[in-house]
Amino acid sequence: MLTRKQHELICFIADRLNETGVSPSFEEMKDALELKSKSGVHRLISALEERGFLRRLPNRARALEVIKTPERSGAARSSAAVVSKATPKAKAPEPANDVVEIPLHGRIAAGVPIEALEGAQMLPVPAALLGSGEHYALEVAGDSMVDAGILDGDYALIRRTDVARDGEIVVALIEDHEATLKYFHREGAMVRLDPANRSYDPQRYASDQVRIQGRLSGLLRRY
């Protein structure tokens, strides 16, 4: 079942593809749905992607493919929409460079844990770097993850989640006030946070001292 905004967006994208063969920009979608920011468009697209209505074409930030559309009868405007197959145009969408603004929550240690700062800043990120789900960004401080290709000054793109599997790079909040970016491992009742730099030692904590705040989904580096 789709929300009203999800229904409006998938119909708007389908109409534009049928008319021009090119998916609308995030700015155009934001204006059409009267949203305050493009991050709202990103959340709607992620929801439609998860429900199987939409697919992002690989390595093409703006290219969207409509897999199916809800019927536009009066009944379909309710949440119980009847699904029908979309009729794609022969012309493939052309690449563009849309960006999504995600919250930038200060600096995070890639070495010794430091306090994770909360802030109201937004960071523009190429939409192609983000998958489904809600994301935020943290600026990396330190060099303990250099062997994983994560450098001081990089922006870590984090998908919000409170669970992680062994070996994943996570944002770990330690005792509710310090955050660090490390490889996550469980050792019985303990949690081990591993660096990717031989100059640093693993950090071990009781399980109740550590809360997962997200998993690394990408990096943004400015030159």
Active site residues: 144, 182
Q: Under 8 Å CB-to-CB from 94, ≥6 apart: which residues? A: 22, 62, 63
SS3 85: strand
Question: Which amino acid is it at 168?
Answer: E
Cα 103 to Cα 40: distance, rounded to the nearest angstrom: 12
Provide the CA 135 distance to its chain's centre, in angstroms.
4
- Retrieve residue 121's tokens: 């800043």
**Nearest-angstrom CA–CA distance, 58 and 176:** 38
- Nearest alpha-carbon partner for 147 in 121, 117, 192, 111: 111
Return the number of other C-beta atoms located less than 10 Å from residue 166's C-beta. 10
Neighbours of 123 (CB within 10 A): 19
Classify residue 90 as exposed, middle or buried by CB count within 10 Å of its CB (0-12, 13-18, 19+): exposed
| Side chain identity, residue 142 | G
